[in-house]
Structures are given as structure tokens and as C-alpha cells.
């Protein structure tokens, strides 16, 4: 039965990630006094892109492997998490280390694609992406470690369990604040959409991509954003659990929706930072996250 | 305080023995003629006396006396004087001393003269092609009269512009010819070390279509304003007004006061929508699309208003030699006031939001910094100069149209960076509103909108005018000709001057700031290139007809579905 939930996870992510994207776009449009695209536009975009020619403009295998790798890595992440508070087959057999590895793998695939495309703008984008990864992965790790400390195990099922049950505490509140501040960076939206920065480096790592390969990257990014929203909901939002699988998933999806609304609002009301400004900002967050983790260990 | 007479005295004492002659045909115009050997010294002396270099250009006088004239123009902003320093060289030896080492902003002027007229400048620091295509054959100088306006030499293969050598340790990032932060074709090779900009080379003029040549050979005086208007997609009236004023000055034509007031109103309407457009684009360039959308939403009202007044959102066809073509009726004046009311209110909100936004501060403060001294050295103009403590504004310093009859402030910042240009432009919006209101209040009804000038305009008269465009001052210089059209018409759009200062603004900034630094001069490459682009095909391909599209665009958002 556990194995079924693995597929449920994957299906839910594949199905809902574009919807949340659509919500973000709609809200952004409203803030900008625009009509905005239809809510389902991201689905149309993906269908169109995936149906297009697979063009390997760099003529090497790494170029086509990168989007597949990124997509697979994010799907794996989706498969192993306890969606709806329900630990599945993979959740029992993995821990936070493997989760972080899979997330980093997704990022590395973006870098791989950028380097493989041998484009100046892609290279600048790659170096920015790398700086961002190095600076924000520790924050993610601290969040999970905090959960692990609170629950006493590295297992995903316990590390990603709601903090509310173990008592919120100073450490958890601090980490909540850090996570919220890092959220835009996790999902690559303003003010931290630095690696793609359209007007500067023309979507950076993805500049040479088109068609199905680009579609896969897009899809992977959407699911990655959904994962980070899910992580926030799962760890910091004490949602009521009904014990009935589909209902729990639905409640969590509503939570994720709230996070996406927040992402859209912050994204639409901020200009983009420069990478040097962002790195300074992340450094502060890492320090705060460390403090939170230490506090958690001390039992606060 | 310098007056034309004291200027004359000073220069005659110093350069009289070298052969300088001074002519003061009008109270605020000084024409200086000097043999070419003393050109550089005289130009440097004018700068020493407090002049600002505007632009220079060459002409073809081969048929008359076998010479190529070269004219440099200067502005004494504090004293309200425009001066032209004229010289010439025989066509078989068209060599001049370069003034670029003293006046860096003359660099492009001289390269342009070399390209278009075959002049040579001794001591020019960068004698590369500026305007002509890289495969244009050597020895054909398009602005010479012997070259027909529609000459198309065969294209050559494998000819490319040689970029400047990259400083050691840097890599080249190509920005352009097509890039999301450029709205028109231009090529910047940006030399970066990591993400820090260490230098830049510019290759533009890719869409140069030879408007000056066209108007000197094909159309008549009265048709030129409509071509002039198409030099720029934003400041059309600016160019039409500057040209008309230059011709009126050369002809000694006095137009009615009412026409001058209407010109003023049109110019300020252009400034309003241009500044709002810029504010939006600036937001977009730093990744703040909400500012982009809101600024353009506000701007849209002004576009509708423009259509009410002139029949067009852009390219109004209003300003002609001798006045304007349409009146501002009391009904339109009422609508104008109402629109100003709304726009002012909405821009106040935007102003509060932008000036307090710390993220915008982060992206603009200290970015693209130039000292006041550097700004003066580069002869930069408009909001770019005013953001760097240089208090110049052609509307106040060299009043034209009805600007002598209205009161307005000239906002100046001393932050020296992109932030300063943001603040200056936002504040100027309110000044424009003020000017239009005053103009509506005090506009007299004194004469015909259009003063005909029927008598023959004698050739070889000179006239120059400056108009403060939203992005800086536009300079037009007209030498009258024999065939009912200008013998020489020189246009200097503001970007031509400001773009030359961009490499210094970029130096040691982050590559991420490239778009906003370039954007901060509100660049208008097509003006600089002097182009007309009319896409007739697109129109016919549109599925919606004009009326349908208009209806769709006009319908309130809520009912558009």
C-alpha cells in the first residue's frame, strides 16, 4: 500500500505544480493592473513546449541529459516526501541527507545544462546559480536538521513532521522567519530571480534551451517551487489532520496555495537584487539559521 | 556674466591676430569664424570661458569654393548664449586638428565627419568608423553632394567591426545587437572581470538611414518637420519644434504667441508621457515589473489625451514652420486639465512608493556614479547631468516657445548616480503639469496659428535652436539652401551626447547594473541613428482592423472579456 502513495505523490506534483504557477501569474497580473493569462496557461505552455522539436543547439550529450536529470531529480524528491502527512514506501527508506542530495542534483543539472550550452550568458547565469545554491542549501539543511533535532531522527517522516506537535519554541520561530525570508530564493522569484534575470542575462542558464528540453526544465522548476512551498506547509503550518489520505493532501494543497499567494505578492512588489547584495543577505540568513539549529539542540 | 559683446571682445583680443571674426546676428547667437590652424585652441578657449560642447558637423561646399566647412556648436548655459565655431578646409586636404583630446564629447562628431565627408582629424584618440556600415566601400562619402541619396553600394562579405582590445584578464559579454535590455539595435561589447565591468566598446548606428541627406536632397522646407518628427518614437514634437525654430531663426520669422504656447504644451505633454514611459522601463530593467505596468497605465491617459488634441497617440504632425496646425479649444483645454489632475494624483502615489522603496534604493544608489566634474567634461545633458549636480535646462537657459512666460523649477540632485536620475525625472513630471496649467491659463489669442512665410529664403543663412527633450537637449542647426530646402540640416539628439559618457558610468560597476545604467540615460538609439522605420506590412497583417483594435484597447478592463 505504501508504494501506491509514492505514485500518488508524483501524480499530485505533476498535476498541481502548473496550477500554482498559474495562480502566481494571475495574482502578479492583478497587482500590476493587468488581466493576466488564464489560470491554466502554464499547462498550455508545457503542452506546447513538450510537443516541440528537441533541439540540441550545443550538440553534446550533456545538453540533453541536463533537463532530464533535473526533471528526474525533482520527481524523486516529490516521491520521497510525506505528502499529506503520510509516510510512504520511500519516506521510510530515505532520510534528510538523501533529500538534500536529490535537491542539489537538480541544481547541478541546471549548471550542467548551462555549462554544456557554452553561451556567455548561460555561464554568467551558471555562476550566479552556483553562488545561490551554495548560500541557500545550508538554510534548507538547517530547517530539516531543526526538524530532526526536535523529533530525534534523520528520517524524513520525522524531520518533516509538523513542528507544532513537539512544541514551537524560540528556535522554530526563528527558523520560520529565516525560511520565509529565504522563500523567494528557494523558488527563484523576485527579488532573487538573479540567475535568470531576463533583462540582464536573458534567462541565463536556459538561454540555449527550447522546445521539449526547455519544457522539462520549466516543469522541474515548477515542481521545485511546489516542493519548497510544501516543505514550509509541512514543517511550519500546524494543519489539522483528518487521518483520511485524500483529505489531508487537499488540506496541504490549500496550505501550499497560501504560500504561493505570498510568493506572488513578494515577487510583484520587489525589484531584483544584484548577486553581491543577495549573497550578503543569504549570509545573514545562514547565521540566523545556525543559531536556530543550535537553540534547537539546546532544547529551546 | 558673459554677454555676446564681452565674449566678442575677449575672443577678438585673443584670437583676432589669428584671423578670428565674430558675428552677432541675434541677441543670443554668436557665430565665430576661424582658420582651421587655430580651431583647437579656440575650441579649448570657449570651454575655458564656461561653454558646454553641443555638437559639431561638416558640410559640403565644394561647388562654391572647393571647401568642406566644419562647424562646432557650444552653449553658454548660464549666459543664455549659443555659439557656433566655424572653419573649413580645402577638399583636397581636409585635415583638421582633433579637438577630442580637450573635449571628449567631440569624439563622435569627428568620427561622423570622417565617415560621411571624408575629413581627417589629427590626434583623434579613436579614429574608427562610427556611422558607415563596416562593408561600405572606402572613398565614398555619403554626405557629399556628388553622392546620390539612394546610392546602394554592393555588400561585401566577411567584414566585421573590430572591437577594441579587451583589458587583460577580462572576458567579453556581447550585449546586442539584439538584447532584452536594448529596445533598439546597438552593440555593446562589455568587458567583465567576474561580474565587474572593466570597459566597454560601442558599435551602433546600425539603423542609420540618412534622414539628413534625404531632407537635404529630396524634400522641401515645409515637409521636413514631418520627417523630423519621425526621427524619434517619443520626442517627435521636440525634433519638429527644434527644426522649425532653426528655420524660423534663419528666416527671421516671428510666429504668433499663441502658437508658441501650443508648442510648449505639446512639448510638455511629450515630457509627461516620456518620463512615465522611462519610469516603467527603469522598473523593468531592475526586475520590478509592477512599477512598469503601473507607470504605463498612468501614461495611457496621456496618450488618449494626445489623440484628442492632435489625432494621434504619437507623431502628432502639429508643429510646422511658422506655428502649429491645430488649436487647443476650450473643450480640449478642459479635458487636458482633468487628465492632468488624475495623472498628477496617480504619479504622486507612485512617487511616494518609489522614493520610499529601499529595494529600489539598493539597486540605484551609487550605481553608474559620475562626479560633477566628469559630467561636465563629457558635456552630458538632461536628467543625466541634472542628477549629477549640473544645473542646466535648455527651457530655462535658452528659452524658446513660451517657456519665458511660465514658471517652473529645474530639479537638480547631487547624488551623481542612477537614483538621482529617477528622482529628477519624477519631480520633472510635476513641473510639466505645472507648466501646462500655466500655459492654459495665460495663453493669449493674438494671431494666426500658422504664420506663412512666403518670401524667398536666401541661401547660406544659419540658424540653430535647442529644445529640451525629455532625455536632454536636442540641437538642430540649419543652413539654408537654394532649392527650397536646407543645404545642411544637422540633428543632434540627446542620446548622441549622453551615450558617449556611458562607458565611464559603467566602469567598475556590476554587470547586473548594465541595463539600468544604460537605461538611466533613457537611450534612444534610433534618434541617434536618425532613422525612420515604418512597418506597413505589419498593419496589413493585423487581423483586427484599426477600429476594432481601438475599441478593444479603449474598453474598460472589466468589460474587455
Name the residue with cell 494671431.
Answer: B447
Residue B240's pLDDT is 92
CA B3, chain centre distance (Å): 26
- Report the residue of B189, B366, B422, B512 to disrupt the A interface, i.e. the one with the largest count of A CBs within 10 Å: B512
Helix (H) or strand (E) holding A292: helix A275-298
User: Does A87 or A21 have the greater pLDDT score?
Assistant: A21
CA distance B295 to B287: 14
Contacts of A158 (CB under 8 A, 6+ apart): A147, A148, A151, A152
Contacts of B293 in chain A (CB under 8 A): 32-34
**How far apart (Å, rounded) are the C-alpha atoms in residues B276 and B279?**
5
State percent of chain B over pLDDT 90: 32
**Chain B interface with A: residues with Cβ < 8 Å:** 171-174, 179-181, 195, 283-294, 297, 357, 359-360, 362-363, 510-515, 557, 560
pLDDT for the residue numbered B275:
92
Q: Is the dihedral of CA A255, A256, A257, A260 positive or negative?
A: positive
Q: To which H or E segment does residue A99 belong? A: helix A96-117
Find the CB nearest A271 among B174, B286, B297. B286
Under the banding of pLDDT at 50, 70 and 90, the label for residue B265 is very high
Q: How far is B276 from chain A (nearest CA, A)?
A: 15
Q: Residue A44 is placed in which grid cell?
A: 498550455
Q: Does domain B4-152 have CATH number 3.30.460.80?
A: yes
CB spacing of A199 vs B284 below 8 angstroms: yes
Radius of gyration of chain A (CA): 19
Torsion of CA B167, B173, B179, B181, to 10 degrees: -70
Return the percentage of chain A with pLDDT > 70, whole number: 92
In chain B, what percentage of residues exceed pLDDT 70?
A: 93
| pLDDT in the model for residue B411 | 92
User: How large is the average pLDDT for residues A122-140?
Assistant: 84
Q: Where are the domains of chain B?
A: 4-152, 211-541
- The DSSP symbol for B491 reads E
pLDDT band at B561 (very low <50, low <70, confident <90, very high): very low
* Count of residues in chain B: 561
ipTM summary value: 0.75
**How far apart, in Å, are the Cα atoms of B374 and each of B325, B380, B413, B502?**
42, 9, 15, 11
Higher-confidence residue of A189 and A30: namely A30
Q: Which residues lie below 8 Å from residue B540, measured CB to CB, with a gap of 6+?
A: none
CA dihedral A255, A260, A263, A267 (to 10 degrees): -160
Strand order in the sheet with B472-480: B462-469, B472-480, B486-492
Mean of pLDDT values over A92-109: 85
* B512 with A270: Cβ contact below 8 A: no
Query: CA-CA distances (angstroms) from residue B35 to B16, B69, B90, B144, B284?
Result: 11, 11, 12, 22, 50
> What whole-number distance in Å separates Cα of residue B260 and Cα of residue B501?
33
Mean pLDDT value across residues B371-375: 90
B511 CA to chain A: closest CA distance, Å?
8
Q: Please write the tens of the pLDDT for every residue from B473-511.
A: 999 999 988 888 888 899 998 888 888 888 888 888 887
Q: Give chain B positions within 8 Å (CB) of A34.
A: 293
Q: Which of B290, B363, B511 sits opposite A31 (nearest CB)?
A: B290
CB contact under 8 A, A32 and B363: no
Fold of B211-541: Cytochrome-c3 Hydrogenase; chain B (1.10.645)
Is residue B139 left, alpha or beta, with left meaning phi > 0 and alpha meaning psi from -120 to 50?
A: left
Nearest residue of chain B to residue A274 (CA atoms): B512
| B287 closest CB neighbour out of A28, A193, A275 | A193
Terminal C-alpha separation, chain B: 63
Q: What is the mean pLDDT of residues B263-287?
A: 90
> What is the average pLDDT value for chain A, to the nearest integer?
83
Q: Is the pLDDT of residue B535 over 50?
A: no
User: What confidence tier does B542 reach under pLDDT thresholds 50, 70, 90?
Assistant: very low
Query: Is residue B152 predicted with pLDDT exceeding 80?
Result: yes
* B75 strand-pairing partners: B52, B82
Is residue B560 classed as helix, strand or coil in its secondary structure? coil
The stretch A252-269 carries a mean pLDDT of: 88
What was the pLDDT predicted at B508? 83
> What's this model's pTM, rounded to 2 decimal places?
0.82
DSSP for B206-260, please give it. Answer: TT---HHHHHHHTS-TTTHHHHHHTT-SS-HHHHHHHHHHHHHHHHT----HHHH
Residue-averaged pLDDT of chain B: 85
- Tell me the mean pLDDT in the region B347-365: 87
Provide CB contacts within 8 A for B323, sequence distance 6+.
B255, B256, B259, B448, B449, B450, B451
Higher-confidence residue of B524 and A128: namely A128
**What is the number of other CB atoms lying within 10 angstroms of the CB of residue B97?**
19
pLDDT at A69 over 90: yes
Q: What is the pLDDT of residue B530?
A: 42
Alpha-helical regions (H) of B286-417: 289-310, 330-356, 358-364, 372-377, 382-386, 394-397
Question: What pLDDT was estimated at residue B423?
Answer: 92
Amino acid at each position: 500500500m505504501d508504494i501506491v502513495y509514492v505514485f500518488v505523490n508524483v501524480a499530485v506534483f505533476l498535476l498541481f505544480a502548473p496550477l500554482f504557477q498559474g495562480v502566481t501569474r494571475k495574482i502578479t497580473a492583478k497587482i500590476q493592473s493587468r488581466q493576466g493569462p488564464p489560470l491554466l496557461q502554464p499547462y498550455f505552455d508545457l503542452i506546447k513546449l513538450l510537443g516541440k522539436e528537441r533541439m540540441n543547439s550545443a550538440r553534446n550529450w550533456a545538453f540533453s541529459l541536463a533537463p532530464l536529470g533535473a526533471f528526474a531529480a525533482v520527481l524523486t524528491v516529490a516521491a520521497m516526501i510525506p505528502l499529506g502527512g503520510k509516510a510512504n514506501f520511500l519516506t521510510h527508506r530515505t532520510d534528510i541527507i538523501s533529500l538534500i542530495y536529490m535537491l542539489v542534483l537538480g541544481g547541478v543539472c541546471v549548471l550542467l545544462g548551462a555549462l554544456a550550452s557554452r553561451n556567455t550568458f548561460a555561464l554568467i547565469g551558471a555562476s550566479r546559480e552556483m553562488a545561490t545554491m551554495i548560500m541557500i542549501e545550508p538554510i534548507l539543511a538547517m530547517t530539516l536538521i531543526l526538524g530532526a533535532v526536535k523529533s530525534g531522527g534523520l528520517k524524513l517522516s520525522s524531520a518533516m513532521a509538523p513542528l507544532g506537535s513537539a512544541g514551537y519554541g524560540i528556535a522554530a520561530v526563528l527558523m520560520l522567519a529565516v525560511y520565509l525570508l529565504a522563500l523567494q530564493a528557494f523558488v527563484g522569484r523576485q527579488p532573487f530571480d538573479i540567475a535568470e534575470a531576463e533583462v540582464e542575462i536573458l534567462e541565463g542558464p536556459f538561454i540555449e534551451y527550447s522546445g521539449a528540453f526547455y519544457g522539462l526544465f520549466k516543469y522541474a522548476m515548477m515542481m521545485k517551487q511546489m516542493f519548497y512551498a510544501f516543505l514550509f506547509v509541512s514543517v511550519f503550518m500546524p494543519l489539522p489532520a483528518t487521518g483520511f489520505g485524500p483529505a489531508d493532501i487537499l488540506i496541504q494543497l490549500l496550505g501550499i496555495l497560501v504560500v504561493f499567494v505570498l510568493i506572488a505578492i513578494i515577487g510583484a512588489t520587489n525589484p531584483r537584487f544584484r548577486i553581491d547584495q543577495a549573497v550578503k543577505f543569504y549570509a545573514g540568513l545562514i547565521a540566523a539559521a545556525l543559531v536556530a539549529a543550535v537553540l534547537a539542540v539546546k532544547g529551546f | 556674466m558673459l554677454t555676446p559683446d564681452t565674449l566678442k571682445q575677449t575672443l577678438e583680443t585673443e584670437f583676432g591676430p589669428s584671423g578670428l571674426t565674430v558675428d552677432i546676428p541675434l541677441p543670443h547667437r554668436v557665430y565665430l569664424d576661424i582658420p582651421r590652424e587655430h580651431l583647437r585652441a579656440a575650441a579649448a578657449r570657449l570651454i575655458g570661458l564656461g561653454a558646454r560642447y553641443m555638437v559639431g558637423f561638416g558640410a559640403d561646399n565644394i561647388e562654391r569654393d572647393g571647401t568642406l566647412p566644419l562647424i562646432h556648436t557650444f552653449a553658454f548655459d548660464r549666459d543664455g548664449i549659443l555659439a557656433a565655431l566655424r572653419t573649413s578646409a580645402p577638399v583636397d586636404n581636409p585635415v583638421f586638428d582633433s579637438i577630442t583630446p580637450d573635449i571628449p564629447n567631440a569624439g563622435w562628431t569627428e568620427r561622423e565627419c570622417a565617415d560621411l565627408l571624408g575629413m581627417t582629424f589629427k590626434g583623434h584618440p579613436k579614429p574608427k568608423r562610427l556611422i558607415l556600415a563596416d562593408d561600405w566601400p572606402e572613398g565614398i562619402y555619403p554626405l557629399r553632394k556628388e553622392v546620390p541619396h539612394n546610392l546602394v553600394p554592393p555588400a561585401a562579405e566577411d567584414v566585421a567591426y573590430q572591437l577594441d582590445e579587451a583589458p587583460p584578464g577580462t572576458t567579453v559579454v556581447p550585449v546586442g545587437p539584439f538584447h532584452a535590455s536594448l529596445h533598439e539595435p546597438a552593440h555593446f561589447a562589455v568587458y567583465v572581470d567576474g561580474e565587474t565591468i572593466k570597459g566597454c566598446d560601442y558599435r551602433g548606428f546600425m539603423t542609420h538611414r540618412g534622414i539628413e541627406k534625404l531632407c537635404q536632397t529630396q524634400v522641401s522646407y515645409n515637409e521636413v518637420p514631418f520627417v523630423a518628427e519621425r526621427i524619434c518614437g517619443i520626442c517627435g514634437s521636440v525634433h519638429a519644434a527644434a527644426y522649425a525654430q532653426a528655420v524660423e531663426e534663419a528666416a527671421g520669422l516671428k510666429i504668433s504667441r499663441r502658437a508658441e504656447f501650443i508648442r510648449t504644451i505639446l512639448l510638455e505633454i511629450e515630457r509627461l508621457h516620456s518620463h512615465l514611459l522611462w519610469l516603467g522601463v527603469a522598473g523593468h530593467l531592475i526586475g520590478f515589473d509592477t512599477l512598469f505596468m503601473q507607470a504605463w497605465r498612468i501614461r495611457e491617459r496621456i496618450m488618449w489625451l494626445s489623440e484628442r488634441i492632435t489625432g494621434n497617440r504619437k507623431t502628432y504632425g502639429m508643429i510646422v514652420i511658422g506655428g502649429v496646425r491645430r488649436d487647443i479649444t476650450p473643450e480640449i483645454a478642459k479635458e487636458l486639465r482633468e487628465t492632468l489632475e488624475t495623472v498628477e494624483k496617480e504619479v504622486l502615489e507612485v512617487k511616494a512608493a518609489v522614493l520610499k522603496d529601499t529595494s529600489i534604493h539598493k539597486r540605484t544608489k551609487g550605481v553608474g556614479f559620475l562626479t560633477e566634474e566628469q559630467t561636465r567634461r563629457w558635456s552630458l545633458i538632461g536628467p543625466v547631468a541634472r542628477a549629477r549636480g549640473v544645473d542646466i535646462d535648455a527651457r530655462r537657459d535658452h528659452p524658446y516657445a513660451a517657456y519665458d512666460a511660465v514658471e517652473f523649477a529645474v530639479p537638480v540632485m547631487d547624488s551623481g548616480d542612477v537614483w538621482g536620475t529617477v528622482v529628477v525625472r519624477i519631480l520633472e513630471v510635476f513641473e510639466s503639469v505645472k507648466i501646462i496649467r500655466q500655459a492654459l491659463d495665460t495663453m493669449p489669442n493674438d494671431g494666426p496659428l500658422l504664420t506663412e512665410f512666403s518670401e524667398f529664403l536666401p541661401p547660406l543663412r544659419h540658424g540653430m535652436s535647442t529644445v529640451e527633450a525629455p532625455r536632454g537637449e536636442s540641437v538642430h542647426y540649419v543652413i539654408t539652401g537654394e532649392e527650397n530646402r536646407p543645404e545642411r540640416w544637422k540633428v543632434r539628439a540627446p542620446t548622441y551626447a549622453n551615450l558617449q559618457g556611458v562607458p565611464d558610468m559603467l566602469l567598475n560597476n556590476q554587470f547586473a547594473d548594465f541595463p539600468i545604467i544604460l537605461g538611466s540615460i533613457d537611450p534612444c538609439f534610433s534618434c541617434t541613428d536618425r532613422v525612420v522605420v515604418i512597418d506597413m506590412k505589419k498593419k496589413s497583417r493585423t487581423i483586427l482592423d484599426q477600429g476594432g483594435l481601438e475599441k478593444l484597447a479603449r474598453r474598460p478592463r472589466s468589460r474587455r472579456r
